[in-house]
Structure 1
Amino acid sequence: MHAIDLFSGAGGFSTGAAMAGVPVVWAANHWPLAVQYHAANHPHAAHICQDLQQANWQLVPAHDLMLASPCCQGHSKARGKANGNPQHDASRSTAWAVVSAAEVHRPAAFVVENVPEFLEWSLYPAWAAALATLGYSLAPHVLDAADHGVAQNRVRLFLVGTRSKAPLRLSLPAQDALHAETFVDFGAGSWSAIDRPGRSINTLARIASGRTRHGDRFLAPYYGSGSGETGRSLRRPIGTITTRDRWAVVDGKRMRMLTRHECRAAMGFPADYQLPETHKQAVHMLGNAVCPPVAAKVIKELMERI
């Protein structure tokens, strides 16, 4: 079995494939830095830096499994906009690369990862119909990473396509959740005093609320809804890791943002997985990534069923 990885980004899908025993032979992304680090972590794969909507699929090696994570921002409730916004319409259109690649190679199966709102895309029926014309049946699986070996609540769609008459529903039983305390290192990072000049009144209020609920050590997101009002216990999974710093660690009278290494662990990447030295770049890559343990579980079950 061999796989290719479209929109490979930080390499979460490729890492999950490796965990499942499926080598990735080709990977592509439009961001040079992402391609650089994917190649560093997956040196045995061929790499290309290109807009995949203009790829020559005949140059791609033969494969049994296609993995793809088209741009999700145009679908996400957090960042997506209505049809007619050129930026987000262009974002959504990246999914058509999956169809053009499948038309040329007809792999035995593919897995597309995205936000669940992908299924609500106005062109999803047409997109699914195009794949059906190529002989694929689609089975959507909406999974929370916290149920599948990752210390993070991250709900994502894994759309499994197989060349079969009926959609293939995978058996993916949930497991006990890991907690954020498994990766938060109180001896790491750059700490600052909570009660310092210039600290936002709203931030101080949220931290006070979190301390009331969780004691001196907890997580505090920089958002004014959900856990942003109450903080989050370290004895539960962290909330979704995003492309920008979101989660602060509170320890008594001091606080700091998560380090890139903690974000890497929260996503389920191996501890030796190479990341950019620049914190902002590393967090951006990780926030867009697929959680490797979840990908591994999906791919392993899929390979056993086809």
Structure 2
Amino acid sequence: MTAQEATQMSTKDMSSTASPSQARALTAIDLFSGCGGLSHGLKRAGFHVVAAVEIDGKAQATYELNHPAVRLYPKDIRKLDPMQVLSDTGLQPGDLDLLAGCPPCQGFSRLRTRNQQTFVKDDRNNLVADFVRFVKVMKPKTIMLENVPALAKDGRFTRMRNQLGAFGYGMVTHILDAADYGVPQRRKRLIMLASRVHRPEMAAKAGSRITVRQALKHVGAPSTTKDKLHAMPERRSQAIRELIALIPKNGGSRTDLGADRQLACHKRSNGFRDVYGRMAWDDVSPTITSGCHNPSKGRFLHPSYNRTITLREAALLQGFPRDYKFDISHGKEAIGLMIGNALPPPFIAAHARALRKGLLEAHTMTPAESSMTTAR
């Protein structure tokens, strides 16, 4: 699969191969939607996203630019009644096919858990309980939860799994690399699939990985583009520009320059060796974070040009399509945060297709057959 194919696959492609009985619309709700990566992945997998919830104003605006037909609740999920969402979307408890979300994970981040604590005190982590609250009321047929790997060791995740089991859900949880599922980026994530109508299974890995070269091969120079996101300018001192120009192309690092050419702050630290490093053309990119436009935040220099990747290039490496809209008036920091925090659409689409397959198969089963499948 090429990068363009991985990015442009649509629900039309899927429905063209589905039988009439499989063509029915499957509903989904996206909690903690951010700028819409999860919703985009669900749509690519053939789901009809009927509602989404997001608290951040700039993320809300970006979501609405790209998903105008979805009913967006621009508010704190802790103040939202799930029965109201069901009523607004014409659903009853048990009707919803998929409830999906990624509770904000900053409190579970790797840097926050370096001391091996398995219970991090951060109010955002308690949003996992709100995810369960929505499950309890909505009774969706299937569930998808995505998060950072550290969540697996937190007691709240164990409690959530126990609650879902008590509600009748079978579950499968793995820590996977998004690069194995059509994302041109190395990104380890925890994903949990749950179902009360069939036995859930993770999607099979893609046959090959998409490289930086494949993902960016159709992107022109920022100076010649009409894409305002791609053309957002850099502001670097002359000294930093000269340092970047010295770093070897195609995977080089500041450590290749020798000790006398290191920045003073780098000489004081033995860690963070990827900062001021270049990506390699024929490998996947490193994890795209909110600092993806800043060379001091990671290996975010372009493989060949003496600049960081642009925000459009960062979005492509996250698996967004080329025409995904961002309002540049929000500024680089806000857009970088949205892109870095987004769920890679191809990764979501792969696992949503696995759930969709199970849902459609369960739809054709008798109640007795369905109960036997979920009990296995």
State the TM-score, normalizing by the size of structure 2: 0.70
Aligned-residue offset at 1:85: 6.3
276, 286, 294: which one pairs with 1:239? 286
Alpha carbons 1:191, 1:255 under 8 Å: kept: no
Unaligned runs of 5+ residues in structure 2 are 1-25, 223-230, 255-265, 360-376
Alpha-carbon RMSD? 2.8
307, 312, 316: which one pairs with 1:265? 316
For 1:169-180, what aligned pairs fall within 5 Å after superposition?
Answer: 169-180=201-212
168, 183, 187: which one pairs with 1:135? 168
Provide the residue aligned with 2:8 in structure 1.
none
Alpha carbons 2:245, 2:306 under 8 Å: kept: no
For 1:285-300, what aligned pairs fall within 5 Å after superposition?
Answer: 285-300=338-353
Question: Structure 1 residue 12 and structure 2 residue 37: aligned?
Answer: yes
Alpha carbons 1:28, 1:50 under 8 Å: kept: yes
Alpha carbons 1:149, 1:178 under 8 Å: kept: yes
Say which is worse superposed, 146-155 or 172-181, in terms of deviation: 172-181
Alpha carbons 2:34, 2:54 under 8 Å: kept: yes
Q: Provide the secondary structure at the position in 1 that maps to 2:99.
A: strand
Taking the aligned partners of 1:50 and 1:15, their CA distance within structure 2 comes to 20
Taking the aligned partners of 2:75 and 2:236, their CA distance within structure 1 comes to 45
Unaligned runs of 5+ residues in structure 1 are none
| 1:268 to 1:84, Cα distance in 2 relative to 1, 3 A | closer
For 1:191-270, what aligned pairs fall within 5 Å after superposition?
Answer: 196-197=238-239, 199=240, 204=243, 211=248, 216-218=249-251, 224-225=271-272, 227-228=274-275, 231-245=278-292, 246=297, 247-249=300-302, 251=304, 255-270=306-321
Taking the aligned partners of 1:105 and 1:111, their CA distance within structure 2 comes to 14
Taking the aligned partners of 1:286 and 1:220, their CA distance within structure 2 comes to 24
For 1:1-306, what aligned pairs fall within 5 Å after superposition?
Answer: 1-60=26-85, 61=89, 62=91, 63-80=96-113, 82=117, 86=121, 88=122, 90-163=123-196, 168-184=200-216, 185=219, 187-188=221-222, 190=233, 196-197=238-239, 199=240, 204=243, 211=248, 216-218=249-251, 224-225=271-272, 227-228=274-275, 231-245=278-292, 246=297, 247-249=300-302, 251=304, 255-277=306-328, 278-306=331-359
Taking the aligned partners of 2:56 and 2:313, their CA distance within structure 1 comes to 23
> Any idea what the Cα deviations from partners look like across 1:202-258, whole Å, max 9, x if unmatched?
x94x986x52xxxx344769994354486442210110010123412254xx62222
Q: Give 2:154's aligned amino acid.
A: W
Q: Which has the higher helix share?
A: 2
| 1:219 to 1:145, Cα distance in 2 relative to 1, 3 A | farther
Q: Give 2:321's aligned amino acid.
A: P
Aligned-residue offset at 1:191: 6.5
Alpha carbons 1:193, 1:255 under 8 Å: kept: no
Aligned-residue offset at 1:11: 0.7
Q: Provide the secondary structure at the position in 1 that maps to 2:106.
A: coil
Taking the aligned partners of 1:108 and 1:291, their CA distance within structure 2 comes to 23
> Any idea what the Cα deviations from partners look like across 1:120-157, whole Å, max 9, x if unmatched?
01222222112222112221132212111111111111
Alpha carbons 2:252, 2:277 under 8 Å: kept: no
Q: Give 1:181's aligned amino acid.
A: R
